[in-house]
Structure 1
Amino acid sequence: MDDFLAARSQMALSLGFHIIYACIGMVMPFFMAVAHYRWLKTGDAAYKNVAKAWSKGVAIFFATGAVSGTILSFELGLLWPKFMEHAGPIFGMPFSLEGTAFFIEAIALGFFLYGWDKFNPYFHWFTGVVVGISGLASGILVVAANSWMNSPAGFDYVNGQYTNIHPMKAMFNNAWFPEALHMTLAAFASTGFAVAGVHALMIVRKRNIHFHTQAFKIAAGFAAVAALLQPLAGDIAAKSVAKRQPAKLAAMEAYFHTQPYSPLVIGGIPDEKLKKVNYGLEIPGLLSFLVYDNFHEQVMGLDQIPEKDQPPVAVTHYAFQIMVGLGMFMMLIGVLYLVAVWFKKHWLESNWLMKLFIAAIPAGFIALEAGWVVTEVGRQPWIIQGVMRTKDAVTPMPGIAYSFYLFTAIYISLSVVVIFLLYRQIRMVPQLYDKKPEQLTLSHN
C-alpha cells in the first residue's frame, strides 16, 4: 500500500467510525430529554428510567466521539499538511466554534448525569436539552467545514495565494445548508431506527414490556418523521450538487453521455471503460426533472468533464444507490408506523411491525456511511473542489501504511468496547421496569 492510499484509507477509516459515534451523540440527548419531559408531565417512572438508561448511552458515545474526533483533528494536520496550511485560516472558524459547543455540551452533560434529585426538576431537564442543542451545533459546524471543501467560498485565489479571506462567508458557503439539513435528518433517522429497533427486539422477546414500549415510541417517532423528511432534504442536496459539482452528480447516477431527457438510472453495474451501465433500469427524463424541474433539459454528463477531473464512478454510484435504497426502506417503515399511530393502533401490538424495526437497526448507519462515501469519493480528485487536488495535499512523510494498520486496530478495539458496554447496559435494565404501569406512577410533590 503506497503512502497516498494509506493516508486516504486512514481518513476514511477514522471518519467511518467517528460519524457513527458523532451522530448517536448528537441525537440521543433529544430522545433522553423527551423521555425526561414526559416523566415530569405524567409522573410515569418508566419515562424516568428510560431517560436514565439513555443518559448512560449518551455518556458512552460522548466519550468515544470525543476521542475519535480528537484523533481526526490530529490526522488533518499530520496527513494533509498542505491542505491545512492553505485551508486552515479560511475555514478555521467553524472548528473553533465547534470546540466551544463541545465544552458547553460537556458541562451540560455533567450537570444532567449528576443532577438527579439535586436540581430543580425543570432546570435539570433543561440541562439535557442543552446537551442536545450543543451536540447538534457541533455536528452542523463540522459539516460546514466539509461543505466548504465541496463549495469553497470566502477567499480569492490568485497566483497560488489565498487572499481577501472572509471566514463567515467560508462557513456559510452555498453548500452549507443543503449538507447540514441532509446530515441532520440522516442522524435522526439512523439513530432513531437503531434505538427503536433495539427496543422492538426486547418487546418481541417480552422483556420489560412497559419500559421498552415507552422507549420505542419516542425513538420510532423521531425516526419516522426524519425518514419522511429526508427525501425532501435529499432533493435539495442533489440540486446543489448538480449546480456546484456536476462531476459528482454524473458519477452518482453513472451518467456517461450528455443528452436531453436525461435518464435516471436505478441499479445497474457501471462499465467505466465502455462508458455504459449494464442491467440498470433507465427512466427517460427523470434525471432532468429532478435537477431542473422539467423533463427535457439536459444534465451534464461525464463526457463533458475531463477524465483527470472525474471521480471513481462505480464506487460513487453503488454508494448512492445503497443510500437511496435504504432511505426508501426506512421511509416505508416510517409511513407504516405513522399510519399505525393515527389509524391502525392495533398494528402497534403486532410482531410484524416490530420485526420491521428490528430489520432496520443497521439500515440507517449503512445509509449514513454510503452517503459519506458519495460525499468524499464523489469529490475526488479534489480535496478542495476545483482548487487543490488530494494528491497535492498529502504529507511527504513515509510509513503511513503502518499508521493505518495501527489506527485500524485502535478503532476496532474501541468499537468492541462500545458494543460490550451497550450490550451490558441493555442486559442490566432492571426487572423493576416491567412492573405494571400503576406501580410505576410517581406523585408530584
Structure 2
Amino acid sequence: MKKKPLAITASAAALSLLLAACGQGGTENTGAEGNTADAASPKIKLSIWHNFSGDDLRAQAVRAQIDKFKTEHPEIELDAQAIPPDGYRQRLKTVAAADEMPDVFFTQSGTSIKEFYDGGLIQPITPLLDQYPEWKNNFIPGSLDTLSFDGQVYATPLSGSATSFLFYNKSLFEQYNVKVPTTWDEMMTAVKTFNDNKITPISLGNKASWLAQSSIISSLADRVTGTEWFKKAVAQDGAKFTDPEFVQALSLFKELADAKAFQTGFNSLDNTQMEQYFIEGKAAMMIDGAWALTNMAASGTEEQLNQVDVTILPSVPGGKGDPNSMSGGSGGGLALSKHVEGDQLKAALDLIYTVSGPEAMEAIANSNSIVTYNVEPDQTKVMPLFYKAFNLYKSVKLTPVYDAYLTSSATEAVNNGLQEISMGGNPEDIAKKIQEAQARELGQ
C-alpha cells in the first residue's frame, strides 16, 4: 500500500512526458506548458550596428567584446550587424529617415552624431557614466565634448581620431638619399626624386572619396588657414570657403596631384589597397589615419613593418596654422536609440559598457589603436611603430577633421571636389561649391 502513491506519481510523470513528446510533433515547442518560466520571460531582443567589419586588429577587438556580451547574457537575443565602412553612414541615414534606428549603433563624433541628436533620434548615456565614475573620469579631458550636447553625453569614444600621420619607408628614403620632409619645398623635392627613380611618392586610395578629405586636406588646410578661420567658415560667421587662404590650401593639393605624387588610378583604389601598396614598399610615403596602424599590423610582415616610420605633415610657407599639429580628436562611439526603454534599455547600457568600458579600452589600445583614454599600451603586445605613433599623437595639437564639423552637403562637396581637383579641376570652382553647400544647409 505504501508503494501505490509512488507508482501513481511515476505513471503520471510518464504520461506527462508522453503527452509532451506527442505535443512536440518533431519540432521545438518553446511555448510548452512544461516551460512556463521561458514562456513568461521571453528573451530580450537587442540590435547593434557597427562598421568594424574588417580583419584588422581593432575590428577584431571590438567584435570580441560584442561576442563576450553575447556569451555573458544568454537571456538576450542580440542581432549584431557589422557593416563595411564605405556604405555604413548612408545606411544609417536611410533608417534614420524612417525613424527605424537600431537599438545601439556606432556613429562618428561631431557632425554625424549631431545630426542624430538634432533629429531627436538618440538618448543620453550619462546615467551609465555616472554609474561608473572611474571609467568616466579616465577619459582624456575634452574627449567627450564632440559626443555631448546640452550637458549630456550621448556616446563615449571607442578610439582616438588621428587622421593625418605621414608614414614613410625608411629604406627608400635612405636608398635615394631623400630628406624626410619638414617643409613644403622638401615635400615637393621628395616627390620629384622618387618619381625620377620610378617609385610612387605617396600611396593614396581615394575610391570612397573621404580619404583625401580626412587625411590630407583636413591637416594641410589647417596649416594654411589656421583653426579659427575654419571654425568661422563652418559657422559662416566672418569667413567663407571662397577666401584666398582656403583656395591656396586646395591649390597645394592640386600641386601634389599635378606633380604625380600619387599612384596611377588612386581614385579607384580603397584605403585598404592603398595601405597594402605602401607596406609592400611600392610607395615611399602614405598620408593616413591611425586606423592604418592596426591594418598594417594585421597584414604586414615584421620585416615590412620595420621599414616604416611615422611623422606629421610638413609646414607650409606663410601658413597661419600650427605646424606641430595633425587633424584628429575623439573617434566615434556607440549611441542609443530614443526608442529603447525598460529591460531593453538596461541590456543596451550593459552592452555599451562591455564594448566601451575600461577592459575594452585596454583591448583596443593593445590592438594597435589609439584611444582617448588613460591607458598605457602593453609594449609586448603592440608594434613599435604604433607605440611611437601613439606618443606622437599625444605630443601634437589636434585640429578639426573636416567631416566632423562640416554639414553633410559641404562634406560631400569637399570629397567630390578633391577627386575633381586630382583630375585637373579648378580650386576656385571647387571652393565655390563647398561654400554654397555649407551656406545652403545652414539656411544662409
**Fold match by TM threshold 0.5:** no
TM-score by structure 2 length?
Answer: 0.24
Would you tell me which structure has more strand in proportion to its own residues?
2
Structure having the higher helix fraction is 1
Of structures 1 and 2, the larger Rg is shown by: 2
